[in-house]
Amino acid sequence: MGPKSIIGLAGALIVVLVVSASVYIIPETHRGVLLRFGELIETNIPAGIHFKVPVIDQVREFDVRVLTMDLPARQYLTVEKKPLDVDSYVAWQIADVDTFYRSTGGDEFRAQSLLSSRVDNGLRNEFGVRTMHEVVSGQRDELMHTLRDQVNETSVAEFGIRVLDIRVKAIELPQQVSENVYRRMATEREKLAQEFRSRGREAAEGIRADADRQQTVILAEAFSKSEQLRGEGDGQAARIYADAYSQNEEFYSFYRSITAYQNAFSSKDDIMVIDSDSEFLRFLKDPLGTTN
């Protein structure tokens, strides 16, 4: 390769380097600013291919898509001076690149810090004029919309940032307050449980007393009925015995005596001391049962 070829190749390489250093591309999701010796000379550069002066010009790009920022949980007081721990987030977007760069120096963390401070002050003010019920459920949406509009109005003008939404993710009582609330709720529930138990015991005593009364009545009626039936049975038995006795008095007397003997001498260990002339032994002395 000759000297001319080397010089031509070096010249082409220099041209390529100059062109590459002079051309820059802004993505579709970004916007840019152009700085010359640190001084802002062009802002809000749209997406596409652009040119700059090599070495002395510098390009800064900023994401203009919707971004979200979680705010640190903070404690706010309601109008009743009741503390609430609030966890929230902000959806925001760079609306004016020129204002954004001039107010924040293009530092996204600084922009988030400024925006977080505005939202924090806004939440403190909005919570301070509402009751706990209103911020928890009653006027929660209204509070968010009002705060969003207020913060957006100032942030667009001062920082070039459009606030699209501000939302509260969670509202909780502080730990100490929560423990007191839970303790009071437990006491109330225990009191209610004791009341139900007392009513239950009272009802149980009434049921047992009624059952005992019914048992006594039923047993008394059953005993009365059994005594009545027993009396009727004894009466019928007496009539049967009387009828049988009237038909054959001697046989009936003999049958009664035999039955008495059987019951009296049912065991070998039984001992009976009785006069031999007793009427009870007349059938043992004389099978006909005759007496002298």
Q: What percent of the chain shows pLDDT beyond 70? A: 77
Q: Is residue 124 within a helix (H) or strand (E), and if so which, with residue range?
A: helix 108-128
- Tell whether pTM > 0.85: no
Gap between the Cα atoms of 290 and 277, Å rounded: 12
Q: Domains of the chain, with CATH numbers?
A: 3-63 (no CATH), 67-172 (3.30.479.30), 257-292 (no CATH)
101, 44 Cβ separation under 8 angstroms: no
Provide the token pair at 163.
């606030």
> What are the tens digits of pLDDT across the range 173-225?
777 665 666 777 888 888 888 888 888 888 898 898 889 888 889 998 898 88
- From the list 154, 150, 165, 147, the residue with the least C-alpha distance to 67 is 165
Return the number of other C-beta atoms located less than 10 Å from residue 92's C-beta.
23
177: left (phi over 0), alpha (psi -120 to 50) or beta: alpha
Residue 266 DSSP code: S
> What are the tens digits of pLDDT across the range 98-148?
999 989 888 889 999 999 999 999 999 988 888 888 887 767 888 888 899
285 vs 228, which has greater pLDDT?
228
Radius of gyration of the chain (CA): 57
pLDDT at 6: 67
Provide the token pair at 192.
């209610």
Return the number of other C-beta atoms located less than 10 Å from residue 12's C-beta.
10
Gap between the Cα atoms of 97 and 51, Å rounded: 19
Return all residues near 236 (Cβ < 8 A) that are at least 6 apart.
Answer: none
